[in-house]
């Protein structure tokens, strides 16, 4: 597997310590109008982002189905368990570039503690392999 | 896609706030610009005014830049390019991809530099 060259030591350190963990469960991205009718969907959401057009929600697929919401691909969540408050943009760049390179689509969600990735469920293992390979390359460069 | 991303700096300042599980005040939930359920507890992006009213830390005020191109799922290339452009300029940033767009949160003091870096990226893509 080819690797994306990350020349900066700082990026290598972030990547080497990123500790990717595949979380259980299937998630979907849904759009809902910002309205009280969506209180239940909001209560079940793992992620929410206000957009001009309405609310973007990340929901467990079973909840989205139960609530009759429209969604597309079922996704798996991979959390990068390293604590990278605000310093993580280089890590985001490296990870997103590696996944792009492997044609694995992904959504990135930075939160207070960690960076989380959502990838199509049928590509979750490939995504995890890609991240582990990126991590291994960074560790080898740091050890050299 | 990168050529058309048209970064837009939104008005207002926000902060990231982490809460213990089940400890999000109603005012915070109602005013949140974004939220995420982390294993350690909920993480919210709040207007500075809301955070101040609740006595939360506001020492890292941030601005939101929305990449107004429609972010289809295959937009991870856009996320990668935007993150790299900011990292190259040494601008810290948190990126949140949503259903329609990518949203970039940067320290208030670096907002103009971030906007310039993202516009330059867009222009390079358009001319390349």
Determine the pLDDT at residue A2. 38
Q: What is the pLDDT of residue B68?
A: 79
Tell me which architecture the domain covering A1-26+74-144 has in CATH. 2-Layer Sandwich (3.30)
Please give, rounded to a whole number of angstroms, the shortest distance from the CA of A20 to a CA of chain B. 14
Task: Classify residue B107 as exposed, middle or buried by CB count within 10 Å of its CB (0-12, 13-18, 19+).
Answer: middle
Q: Nearest Cβ partner of B98 from A49, A88, A120?
A: A49
Tell me which residue has tokens 């009718």: A37
Question: Residue B72 — pLDDT band, cuts 50, 70, 90?
Answer: low
How many percent of chain B have pLDDT more than 90? 75
Write down all domains in chain B, each with its CATH number in brackets.
7-127 (3.30.2130.10)
Query: Would you say residue A1 has pLDDT above 60?
Result: no
H or E, element range at B7: strand B7-9
pLDDT value of residue B44: 97
CA separation for the pair A103, A97 (Å, rounded): 10
B42 falls in which pLDDT band (50, 70, 90)? very high
C-alpha A117/C-alpha A107 separation (Å) is: 6
Give the H or E element holding residue A100.
helix A89-101
Question: Which of B16, B92, B98 is the closest to A51 by Cβ?
Answer: B98
**Residue bearing the bigger pLDDT, B128 or A16:** A16
Test A49 with B33 for CB contact under 8 angstroms.
yes
**A73: chain B residues, CB-CB within 8 Å:** 73
In chain A, domain spans: 1-26+74-144, 27-72
Mean pLDDT rounded to a whole number for chain B: 90
For residue A20, pLDDT beyond 50: yes
Residue B1, pLDDT > 80, answer no
**pLDDT, chain A, mean:** 89
CB nearest to B95's CB, from A85, A87, A110: A110
Instruction: Quote the pLDDT of residue A83.
Output: 73
Please tell me the least confidently modeled range out of A48-52, B2-6, B27-31. B2-6
Residue of B nearest to A7 (CA): B88
Backbone angles phi, psi at A24, to 5 degrees: -70, 160
| pTM for this prediction | 0.91
B75 neighbourhood in chain A, CB within 8 Å: 105
User: Which positions ≥6 away from A42 have C-beta within 8 Å?
Assistant: A48, A55, A57
**Contact at CB, B92 and A86, closer than 8 angstroms:** yes
The first and second tokens of residue A122, run together, are 């049928």
Q: Region B22-47: what's the mean pLDDT?
A: 95
Q: What ipTM was reported for this prediction? A: 0.89
> Is residue A36 scored above 80 in pLDDT?
no
- List pLDDT tens digits, range A42-101: 889 999 999 988 999 999 999 999 999 999 899 999 999 887 756 678 899 999 999 999
| Distance in angstroms (rounded) separating the CA atoms of residues B21 and A98 | 33
């Amino acid at each position: 597997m080819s690797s994306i060259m990350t020349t900066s030591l700082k990026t290598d350190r972030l990547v080497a310590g990123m500790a990717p963990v595949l979380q259980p469960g299937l998630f979907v991205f849904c759009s809902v109008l910002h309205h009280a009718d969506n209180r239940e969907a909001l209560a079940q959401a793992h992620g929410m982002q206000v957009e001009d057009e309405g609310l973007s929600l990340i929901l467990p697929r079973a909840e989205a189905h139960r609530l009759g919401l429209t969604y597309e691909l079922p996704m798996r969540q991979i959390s990068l368990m390293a604590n990278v408050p605000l310093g993580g943009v280089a890590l985001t760049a490296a990870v997103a570039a590696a996944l792009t390179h492997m044609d694995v689509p992904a959504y990135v969600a930075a939160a207070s503690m960690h960076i989380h990735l959502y990838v199509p469920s049928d590509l979750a293992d490939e995504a995890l392999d890609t991240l582990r390979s990126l991590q291994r390359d960074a560790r080898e460069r740091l050890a050299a | 896609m990168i050529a058309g991303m048209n970064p837009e700096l939104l008005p207002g300042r926000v902060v990231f706030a982490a809460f213990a599980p089940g400890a999000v005040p109603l005012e915070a939930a109602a005013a949140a610009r974004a939220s995420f359920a982390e294993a350690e507890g909920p993480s919210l992006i709040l207007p500075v005014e809301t955070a101040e009213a609740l006595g939360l830390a506001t020492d890292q005020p941030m601005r939101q830049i929305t990449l107004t191109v429609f972010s289809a799922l295959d937009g991870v290339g856009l996320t990668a390019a935007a993150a790299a452009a900011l990292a190259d300029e040494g601008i810290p940033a948190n990126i949140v991809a949503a259903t329609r767009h990518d949203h970039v949160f940067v320290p208030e003091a670096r907002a103009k530099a971030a906007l310039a870096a993202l516009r330059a990226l867009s222009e390079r893509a358009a001319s390349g």
